[in-house]
Amino acid sequence: MGAQETTPAIEPDAALLMREPGGKRCRGVAGIAIRALIDLLDESTTDGAVTMDVVRRIANAVLSARGPLSDYYANWENGCDSAFTLRRIEQQRTDFIGRIVTQPFAALLDDREAGLERKHLAQFFAAVRMIVGDEPFDGLRTRANEAAERHRTPEGMVAWDDFYRDFDVMQVFEQIAVAIARSFRRFEPRKDWFLIIMNSSPSSISTASNAFIPKKAEDKVTREFSEAHMVRMFVALFSEFRLETFTPERRDVFMERWGSDPEKVFGPLFVSLLSMAQQLA
């Protein structure tokens, strides 16, 4: 018979370095429990050996552990529940253009002092669609959804950092930003229109991207979405289009695409927002 082949030993942490498809959280929990088991077995050896009765006793102790290990299990269980819920939501998501237009002010949605709430988003999306126009908006939505599919992970999630850095996603956002900025050239009437939209239900107003019917004065008395909210939202929304952010190269590309200097597109809006903020101060 030939020499018997031996399987090379794997160092304790080497297995964790091997790439596995998914299951990272579950492997993390199992890893802690296994290491605890190994440590206890090491302490229970006699001349480097341990009986199966001792192994079973220690294993049962680890499985029914209280104290820090039990707390660790509980924390990971909560984390896993949240992760699985998020994964189900992400796998069911089919419309990604909303993520593109809200990403610049997403942090404000979690800031109580900012006053912006997720309940405002449906009306914001409606306003954006009316400004951009139905057909162009649908085209941008398709491009956004295609970009999301390009950045799906094996687990079905979207790699958001890669998604937001996608060239087509950046162009989609720029097209929306330019459309909004141009629509606010006549700032005061457009501001009133926007605030009406943001404080209305979809069935209560009839309007188009370049024509609108203001509500009666009594409908403007109580507003959940105020001028202050609008200033915070727009300052964040257009932050990457502030004039100082444009390099000469980026300015040239912008002018070639839009036929206008960034200052002419965004400058009047920034001036109006500054004046509006000063009046509210």
pLDDT tens-place values along the chain, 281 residues long: 344 444 444 344 444 344 344 556 666 667 777 877 787 778 877 777 878 888 888 778 777 767 666 666 666 665 555 555 545 555 455 689 999 999 999 999 888 888 888 888 999 999 999 999 999 999 999 999 999 999 998 878 899 999 999 999 999 999 999 999 999 999 999 999 999 999 986 544 444 444 445 545 544 444 589 999 999 999 999 999 999 999 999 999 999 999 999 999 999 999 999 999 999 98
3-state secondary structure the chain: CCCCCCCCCCCCCHHHHCCCCCCHHHHHHHHHHHHHHHHHHHHCCECCECCHHHHHHHHHHHHCCCCHHHHHHHHHHHHHHHHHHHHHHHHHCCCCHHHHHHHHHHHHHCCHHHCCCHHHHHHHHHHHHHHHCHHHHHHHHHHHHHHHHHCECCCCCECHHHHHHCHHHHHHHHHHHHHHHHHCCCHHHHHHHHHHHHCCCHHHCCECCCCECCCCHHHHCCCCCCHHHHHHHHHHHCHHHCHHHCCHHHHHHHHHHHCCCHHHHHHHHHHHHHHHHHHHC
Listed residue (10, 58, 7, 50) closest to 34, CA to CA: 58
Identity of the amino acid at 40: L
Neighbour-count burial of 133, counting CB atoms closer than 10 A to its CB (0-12 exposed, 13-18 middle, 19+ buried)? middle
pTM to 2 decimals?
Answer: 0.65
